[in-house]
Chain A
Amino acid sequence: MAQAVAAAERVERSSLLAAPEGRRARQVLGERILLGLLAASSLVAILTTIGIALSLLFETLRFLDAVPLFDFLFGLNWSPQIAIREDQVGSSGAFGVVPLLVGTGLIAAVAMTVAGPLGLFSAIFLAEYASPRARSFAKPILEILAGIPTVVYGFFAVLVVAPFVRDSSEAAGFEVSSESALAAGVVMGVMIVPIVSSIADDVISAVPQSLREGAYGLGATKSETVRDIVLPAALPGIGGALLLGVSRAIGETMIVVMAAGLSAQLTVNPLQAVTTITVQMVALLTGDQEFDSPKTLAAFALGLLLFIATLILNLIALMLVRRYQERYD
């Protein structure tokens, strides 16, 4: 008897495989539509990225028809302005990217000189020393710093920091231009502090508590524990945080457009005006331009260069942070 009931149930349950036709079909259709929508959304983002990269590449190849790759990458002279009008004397232009690289590097170096120590020290404070109350107060404020539009930093650089740098340097007897790498770099550094501090804070907080206890258990003081155990353990991740900061610094546009200047001087003196890759891209494409002159095409070449540089930096940084996290998870 009991066996007969069990057999009957088994027949009932086999309907799992043979659901009523209509309902089954509706379910399948719903699932497919949802899947399609989700896949299409991510496809749009991926295709856009590929499209942008390809257009950069093709325009760069057109640019390289007019200007040899060697002259572009290793030329010491950048003066695309010469080529604006065809009737102008000496309309050939010079497209050596080295002064822009040096300018970009100089400003990024100044920025990281500010953002590296400030970001790192505030991360150490937040992660190791701050009481929960101080942390809940300081961390959101640092994150607000990251939310300020860069154009506001630009104002700040032009109207406050640049005059201050000029006046104080002149008072000290230095020759200084009103648009200095120093002013732009310092302000950019302040902008980058939250990027460095937030990632470094995560990385330091991820150092297992057991390592700290091990050091305290040996009689290490708080500062010895932080300096000798926690920071070395977090070092790869901190390196990643700094690289993301550098990547942000070389890609930053608004602050340098407003504060760094246009003249492509080959100098490493931070009191001089220098120009950056991003500033030149803006300058090349502002106003009515024909899109087949080397001048405008140069902007794409610069864009591709910047794209590759930041991509490599970001990849290395993410690799460092991720490998580090794997080690302690």
Chain B
Amino acid sequence: MDMSPGTIRPKLTARGVNVFYGDAQALNRVDLDIRAHEVTALIGPSGCGKSTFLRCLNRMNDLIEICRVDGDIRLDGEDIYDPAVNLVYLRARIGMVFQKPNPFPKSIYDNVAYGPKIHGLARSRADMDETVASSLERAGLWEEVKDRLDAPATGLSGGQQQRLCIARAIAVRPEVILMDEPCSSLDPIATARIEALMDELRQNFTIVIVTHSMQQAARVSQRTAFFHLGDLVEVGDTDTVFTQPVDPRTESYISGRIG
């Protein structure tokens, strides 16, 4: 199989994506490919549109009444904005982890079991136990919580809660995981754990992460896309973007002159 970048079929493709909040345009004709089994980092200063773009990918922007998205976004070639698309299936295939850990006010077990339950993924209690255990294991949380699965999830520390949210997303067996600044409320140790986790997870999943931290983007991602004022300025291999940026705006940002 030819592995040169031009011929890999991307997992997600975005073409000419415009996003408006009311009359204000938040994204301007964005074209971006997300490759499978890679971590793609979206970076840029606040308000540049990186989170907005992320939330287009699982149609989370649908929840915002004044938000309008046009352009073409495809998952494995299927148009996700087709009116016939069932959001339940779309979001089962593209999971999401949020900026602030948002465990449901339920037990640790029920948090992880919720997704599989609503999608009917477990045939029996034993099956569900297995799904919960393996999801927690892959999220690196199993050893810490295996003896207290019935304890409320809100009692976990921030870092544990975020790993629980990752386990919750994994449990649905998505193909893509979107992460919206997943470490912004965590301390450096919890952040390091989640970054290590991302590298393991990309064996099985395609990951798109929005991050404020350029060091984080450099550490975890294979590809980096730099957004500025609603434009996708530059996208490329992370090493290249950070060492030989093409656009002067990218160069300014990564050297700390803007943002």
Contact = CB atoms under 8 A, between A and B. Distances in A.
B96 A210 contact: no
Interface residues of B, number: 27
B204 interface: no
Nearest to B93: A219
Interface centre among B60, B102, B119 (most CB of A within 10 A): B102
B6 to A, nearest CB: 32
A221 B62 CA distance: 13
A106 B51 CA distance: 55
A215 interface: yes
A117 interface: no
B91 A214 contact: no
Given A217-B169, A218-B169, A211 B118 contact: no
Contact of B102 (A208, A220, A232): A208
A224 interface: yes
A218 B63 contact: no
Contact of A217 (B96, B103, B118): B96
Contact of B114 (A132, A208, A212, A218): A218
A218 B98 contact: no
Interface centre among A213, A216, A218, A228 (most CB of B within 10 A): A218
Given A213-B60, A214-B165, A233-B105, A219 B98 contact: no
Contacts of B114: 215, 218, 220, 228
Contacts of B63: 212-213, 216
Interface in B162-217: 165, 168-169, 172
23 contacts: A210-B98, A211-B102, A211-B104, A211-B105, A213-B63, A213-B102, A214-B104, A216-B63, A216-B91, A217-B96, A217-B98, A217-B169, A218-B91, A218-B115, A218-B168, A219-B87, A219-B88, A219-B90, A219-B119, A220-B114, A229-B104, A232-B106, A233-B104
Interface of B: 58, 60, 63, 65, 87-92, 95-96, 98, 100, 102-106, 114-115, 118-119, 165, 168-169, 172
Interface of A: 132, 208, 210-221, 224, 228-229, 232-233
The 3 A-B pairs at the shortest CB distance, nearest first, are namely A217-B96, A219-B91, A210-B102
